[in-house]
Amino acid sequence: MSNELERGLEGVLVAESDLSYIDGSDGTLLYRGYHIEDLATRADFEEVLYLLWHDELPTRAELETFTEKLTADQHVDDDVLTAVADMAAADADPMDALRTAVSLLPTYDPESDADTDDAAVGRRQGRRITAKIPTILAAFDRARRGKEPVEPDDDLGYAGNFLYMLTGTRPDDVAEETFDMAMTLHADHGLNASTFASMVIASTMADVYSSVIGGIGALSGPLHGGANEDVMEMLEEIDEAGADPVEWAKEARADGRRIPGYGHRVYQVKDPRANILESRLRDLSDASGDTTWLDYTTAIEGYLADEGLVEKGIAPNVDFYSGSVYDHLGIPTDMYTPIFAMARAGGWIAHILEYQSDNRLIRPRARYTGRTDADFVPIDER
């Protein structure tokens, strides 16, 4: 056993996986061997979920059956929706509301008492979780705006249904396609903190619900899931100040402030997901006639490139453009991280099922640095 300490487990191999492959040096991301560019632009999110959970792309018949079941599972029990409305009334954080609502779902799951080592059961429970998260999030946001929840529309796909339940209006093709692509881009990304947290819980043979709840908790931390919100706040700060984005970025760096959406623990070049979202932001900006966020982000990216950050391995990540895309779709800023969870739940579930198929309890050790010779003194003598 090695005594080398690797803080944060950086570079430590803890599992083998067929799910996603990342080459940070050239900006490659694969899901089960398929390039993210192909999946994001040529496949629906439902196809990607099937791929992650079944190890192959579906046939037309398989996709129709899978989509029908996913659609049927979107409906959420009234008691859960009541709890969601209560949390909205109490001004709960959206991630707290999501975590709490998901923890209520097994109460109404017909297979809640099934064996956790049955992969088919785990896959069905995972499908139910994935299907219900959009309904929960849309109901929460509407409740805090004093609006009634919108029932899922069985004729809409996963991405389109969320936008419809959020706004009450059927999205146009550009919005639905863009959001579907965003879901695919966020579905999986190796053993990031939330995925690993899900796997640690799953390694105890806990059920899929418990494991996904752990992933939501990990994603809620500002070092993992909140960068897209930080980017949006940066852009709004620039806009409200009427500042030039390049001059703002120069001053921010001079003050020691970090530019959100820049840098990644794996990528040394521009995140391939950022390239795709930048393209979609251009399409949305052209459609709306408002290029403000596009102008700001591209100006900052150009300036930082000229400053040599890319050569130093610090480049735009997926969050640098996702916030602007979501804003164009009318999604509130504090819903960006919950939407991340909505997409990433598919990846969490895939990793949970994969790891439990050849399970070993994850039990690392820590190097002890405390005292070894403390003398106990009875409490009345202290």
Beta strands in 104-200 (DSSP E): none
- Among 229, 233, 207, residue whose Cα is nearest residue 220: 229
Count CB neighbours of 240 within 10 A: 8
Calculate the alpha carbon distances from 108 to 73, 103, 128, 129, 214 in Å.
12, 11, 11, 11, 19
Cα–Cα distance for residue pair 87/101, rounded to 1 Å: 9
Q: Using an 8 Å Cβ cutoff, are 331 and 229 in contact?
A: no
Local structure of 30: helix, strand or coil: strand
**Is the Cβ–Cβ distance between 300 and 245 less than 8 Å?**
yes
Give the max Cα distance, the chain: 77
The DSSP code for 317 is -
φ/ψ bin of 21: left (φ > 0), alpha (ψ from -120 to 50), beta (otherwise): beta
C-alpha distance across the termini of the chain, in Å: 40
State the catalytic residues: 264, 319
The helix (H) or strand (E) run that includes residue 48 is helix 45-54
Distance CA 123, CA 126 (A): 5
What number of other Cβ atoms are within 10 A of residue 37's Cβ? 15
CA distance 115 to 254: 57
